[in-house]
Chains A and B, each alone.
Chain A
Amino acid sequence: MHGRVKVKSTAQQEEEKRKEREKKLKAFVSARDAVLRKRSAGEHDEEALQLTQQLLSSNPDFATLWNYRREVLLQLETSREKDEVQKLYESELHFIEACLKVNPKSYGCWHHRSWVNTRLPQPDWTRELGLCDRCLSLDERNFHCWDYRRVVVKESGVSVEQELQFTDRLIGSNFSNYSSWHYRSTLLPQLHPQPAPDSIHSHRVCEEQLLKEYELAHNAFFTDPNDQSAWFYYRWLLGRGVCVCSLCLSQAQSEGLMLVLDGQPQQVEWRSTHPRLRHSPVWLCDLPPGSVSDISNEHNLTVHWTEKYTHRDCALYTGCAESWCRDSATDQELFRSELSVEKSSVLQAELQSCNQLLELEPQNKWCLLTIILLMRALDPLGHEKETLAHFQTLKEVDPMRSSYYSDLCSKFLIENTILKMEYAEVRVFSLSNKNLTTLCHLDQLLLVTHINLSSNQLLRLPPQFAMLQCLEVLEADDNAIESLEGLYHLPKLEEVSLRNNRILFAIQSKCFIRNPFSAFRASAWFDLVSRSQYSSLINSYRLCRIMEGQQI
């Protein structure tokens, strides 16, 4: 079904081909019918082995025949001594190897081989490893063979170090090494498991290996800058230190979170910020009525996340309307991993080398992207300008993936703005005129009161936007916004400006709505709007500028 070229031939050639196929077909059909007849008759004998052998050699995907063969072998086992069974299955291995020569990618073949090894009184794992070596030397990307090799390695106790050396050899001598790099990515964690947070020494060993891996990947892509597998692997190495703290609670979230007020556990219902967000980093609850009515006293709240054995405390001080406790984005190194001095200097050297490579290969998109990633790992704010310039170049040299680069650049700009906001200790998020194509990390904007996203290329305010529970003012003029799903029950939102977008209700005139129930001029428009899905939103806002410039 794959890779069969359509060849034009003469009428005579066509006729010859047709006759040939007719002959082949007849032979196949008669052999197939004979086998299935035998099986129906419950015959499990040598003849069955012979007939299936004939067919399977050129039709190894005919799974039912392998099944029949297994039934026959199991039957024959019952009447044989152990050493005869050994011979029986060794001969089977011989047959399978012949099939594999014809078709090295048949699921049926490889599975049957695994099955035979479970029946062999004495499997020979050394031989099996040899088979894998030979097979991979012919096609290093044969994933069936790699999967089989993993079984052989496990059964025979080959060491992780040995297998790492095996990948070293392949990577050193070959192109098209993705399978080897992938295998390495699975071997390393076995060799150097993730260290416990309080164990200093194992952390150093882990980092030592990591730095070796940088060198290995570096050597590969400096030998051949178009060897994409090494670049993929390198990106993984760069991300290895990042602690992705995903607060993903299951649907039964009320069991996972417990609220304690002034020492008393509270009966509360947790809800997501938006009905479409069933798995969310942000959860809301209302305190029981009257529980914090006395504002002349200080109140202490604790939220326990029982699944992760952790909690956070927060004090609501006298006379205060709001309070919070949060882990700072800068302290926690939320967007990048903490770098030791060693790692930092290694990455600095890597950045230099990559810049040199870029001078030789200015069109190499892998190099450009890697430079961006290295800069982010070292100093995201310091390298912001260069990063933006590199993204521009990336879109020029690799235009098929422009959307990806735009989204990735947007993500990094948002991360930088969050960091700047933290350092400045303000609650205003401003990113206008920055070619933003997407929004992310919205869970980090929970405390933001003012947000300016004007003059970008946003297409929507997604459901996640509902996490901006403290938002008072939204400016998002001059985008391409079609959907306002995320403007859902934002309790503090008072001012909304969404001019020059693509919100889908028919608007002819511009107008302000100060009080939706009073202005007669606005009523005709309001009538129209109230029939739209956004009526409940519009009702909520003290000042709402949506109408101007909407394209339908």
Chain B
Amino acid sequence: MGTQVKDVVIKPEAPNTLLLDKHADYIAAYGSKKDDYEYTLSEYLRMSGIYWGLTVMDLMGQLSRMNREEIIEFIKSCQHDCGGISASTGHDPHLLYTLSAVQILSLYDSINVIDVDKVVDYVKGLQQEDGSFAGDKWGEIDTRFSFCAVATLALLGKLDVINMDKAVGFVLSCMNFDGGFGCRPGSESHAGQIYCCTGFLSITGQLHQVNADLLGWWLCERQLPSGGLNGRPEKLPDVCYSWWVLASLKIIGRIHWIDKAKLRSFILACQDEETGGFADRPGDMVDPFHTLFGVAGLSLLGDEQIKPVNPVFCMPEDVLQRIGLQPDLLN
């Protein structure tokens, strides 16, 4: 027969209703046990972890349960002299965590607790000759960082400081035969990169450069018989792709090409009824990362118990409205 389709089978007893309260309890308690193994080992991404937790809580209308003052102080302690922000105290600055920090401060409407001009300088300084962005001074190039750069600057209202034409040119040079995008020119298409690149093109007003029909097809082919989405052909489904793929489809105006009911069942099946939270697939261990993307995915699918989420920034729409940011989407 040849290749079997890689997929999961959802057990009949898997959760099929949305357990929002359990998820809120899970996130509220996460990280309170500072000596937790997983928690400590993931310190290298702490800033992003906080962004995931806060965003999902805000989407569930539970932001007030988080410790705003402590988090703001933490962020202040993570800004380095160069302007960049690190994942945690004692770690080195990086674009990934600079974006996460700016997103958190946007949620809290407290952007001025850090030196904004220095953040802008830091981001600007990471743009290379060919328009690409390095993640930090050590020079790793990736379209993820192009997204981080423009998203950060857009939230700060400072998009004009970079060389836009070159930045766009670089991202477009990463477009592949299948309409998708990879890390660097020549890299294979991957849903995470596609999210970053379509998000980038939305922020920079260049979505007309995308072949929406072709890319939309590649993206809707991520849906497997279980209803879940994978990140590229012949991989297992994962709830975080409910975000990367779905948001990309929303940005290019093709979200109706997914079977929404089947995806919703898959996402709900990834919940853990005992602990709260979402795992990558049914039966696995939960974490805040998959919890955010499960909830955000459900929001994009139209669940009215969750606040509308912006597909480009993965932040509540009301926050972006307050800032005055409404990036273009294709119809």
- Binary per-residue interface labels of chain B (223-256) against chain A in the complex, 1 for a CB within 8 Å, 0 otherwise: 1000100001111001000000000000000101
**CB <8 Å contact, A150 and B186:** yes
Partner-binding segment picked from B33-41, B67-75, B304-312: B33-41
Contacts of A403 in B (CB 8 A): 256-257
Contacts of A224 in B (CB 8 A): 2-3
**CB <8 Å contact, B257 and A147:** no
**Chain A binding surface, main DSSP class:** helix
**CB <8 Å contact, A278 and B138:** no
Per the CB 8 Å criterion, the residue count for chain B at the interface is 64
8 Å CB interface, A434-477 against B? 460, 462-463
User: Complex formed: what's the CA distance from A64 to B232 in Å?
Assistant: 30
Q: Does B23 contact A (CB under 8 A)?
A: no
**Chain B binding surface, main DSSP class:** loop
Partner-binding segment picked from B108-116, B117-125, B153-161, B209-217: B209-217
User: Complex formed: what's the CA distance from A147 to B185 in Å?
Assistant: 9
User: Complex formed: what's the CA distance from A407 to B40 in Å?
Assistant: 49
Contacts of A399 in B (CB 8 A): 259
Q: Does B184 contact A (CB under 8 A)?
A: yes
User: Complex formed: what's the CA distance from A223 to B220 in Å?
Assistant: 25
**CB <8 Å contact, B177 and A146:** no
**CB <8 Å contact, B3 and A278:** no
**CB <8 Å contact, A236 and B284:** no
Interface centre among A59, A62, A63, A186 (most CB of B within 10 A): A63
Shortest distance between the CB of B93 and any CB in chain A (Å): 10
- Binary per-residue interface labels of chain B (293-313) against chain A in the complex, 1 for a CB within 8 Å, 0 otherwise: 000000000000000000000
Other-chain contact of A404, B40, B177, B187, B216 (Cβ < 8 Å): B216
Shortest distance between the CB of A35 and any CB in chain B (Å): 10
**CB <8 Å contact, B37 and A25:** yes
**CB <8 Å contact, B218 and A175:** no
8 Å CB interface, A264-295 against B? 278-279
Contacts of B221 in A (CB 8 A): 228, 401
User: Complex formed: what's the CA distance from A463 to B285 in Å?
Assistant: 46
8 Å CB interface, A505-549 against B? none
Partner-binding segment picked from A1-9, A122-130, A198-206, A317-325: A1-9
Contacts of A146 in B (CB 8 A): 187-188
- Binary per-residue interface labels of chain B (177-191) against chain A in the complex, 1 for a CB within 8 Å, 0 otherwise: 110001110111110
Q: Does B30 contact A (CB under 8 A)?
A: no
Contacts of A232 in B (CB 8 A): 178, 218, 233
Q: Does A489 contact B (CB under 8 A)?
A: no
Residue of chain B at shortest CB distance from A176: B234
Contacts of A107 in B (CB 8 A): 140, 142
Partner-binding segment picked from A45-53, A177-185, A255-263: A177-185
Contacts of B234 in A (CB 8 A): 141, 176, 178, 228-229
Contacts of B1 in A (CB 8 A): 226
Interface centre among B1, B40, B233, B259 (most CB of A within 10 A): B233
Shortest distance between the CB of A309 and any CB in chain B (Å): 20
User: Complex formed: what's the CA distance from A1 to B41 in Å?
Assistant: 11
**CB <8 Å contact, B238 and A2:** yes
**CB <8 Å contact, B138 and A61:** no
**CB <8 Å contact, A1 and B186:** no
Other-chain contact of B40, A29, A147, A223, A248 (Cβ < 8 Å): A29
**CB <8 Å contact, B182 and A6:** no
Q: Does A429 contact B (CB under 8 A)?
A: no
Contacts of B65 in A (CB 8 A): none
Q: Does B58 contact A (CB under 8 A)?
A: no
Q: Does A166 contact B (CB under 8 A)?
A: no
- Binary per-residue interface labels of chain A (133-156) against chain B in the complex, 1 for a CB within 8 Å, 0 otherwise: 000000001010011001000000
User: Complex formed: what's the CA distance from A115 to B135 in Å?
Assistant: 14
Q: Does B262 contact A (CB under 8 A)?
A: yes
Q: Does A28 contact B (CB under 8 A)?
A: yes
User: Complex formed: what's the CA distance from A187 to B57 in Å?
Assistant: 46
Q: Does A70 contact B (CB under 8 A)?
A: yes
Contacts of A1 in B (CB 8 A): 42, 280, 287, 289-290
Contacts of B92 in A (CB 8 A): 63-64, 67
Contacts of A401 in B (CB 8 A): 220-221, 223, 257, 259
Residue of chain A at shortest CB distance from B36: A25
Q: Does A411 contact B (CB under 8 A)?
A: yes
User: Complex formed: what's the CA distance from A66 to B91 in Å?
Assistant: 11
- Binary per-residue interface labels of chain B (260-281) against chain A in the complex, 1 for a CB within 8 Å, 0 otherwise: 0010000000001000000110
Q: Does B12 contact A (CB under 8 A)?
A: no
Say whether, besides A28-B40, A64-B92, A146-B187, A228 and B233 are in contact (CB < 8 Å).
yes
Q: Does A326 contact B (CB under 8 A)?
A: no
Q: Does B205 contact A (CB under 8 A)?
A: yes
Interface centre among B176, B221, B289 (most CB of A within 10 A): B221
Residue of chain B at shortest CB distance from A63: B44
Shortest distance between the CB of A471 and any CB in chain B (Å): 20
Contacts of A176 in B (CB 8 A): 3, 234
**CB <8 Å contact, A182 and B177:** yes
User: Complex formed: what's the CA distance from A150 to B45 in Å?
Assistant: 28
Other-chain contact of A278, B182, B205, B257 (Cβ < 8 Å): B205
User: Complex formed: what's the CA distance from A399 to B45 in Å?
Assistant: 40
User: Complex formed: what's the CA distance from A146 to B235 in Å?
Assistant: 17
**CB <8 Å contact, B188 and A6:** no
Say whether, besides A3-B280, A401-B221, A186 and B186 are in contact (CB < 8 Å).
yes
Residue of chain A at shortest CB distance from B94: A63
User: Complex formed: what's the CA distance from A460 to B44 in Å?
Assistant: 48
Contacts of B41 in A (CB 8 A): 28, 59
Given contacts A183-B188, A226-B1, 4 further A-B contacts (CB under 8 A): A143-B182, A224-B3, A229-B234, A278-B205
A–B complex contacts, Cβ < 8 Å, 14 sampled: A3-B280, A5-B283, A6-B279, A63-B91, A111-B140, A147-B183, A183-B186, A224-B2, A228-B234, A232-B233, A400-B223, A401-B223, A404-B254, A407-B257
Closest 7 pairs (CB-CB, A-B): A224-B2, A185-B177, A400-B259, A279-B208, A4-B285, A404-B257, A236-B177
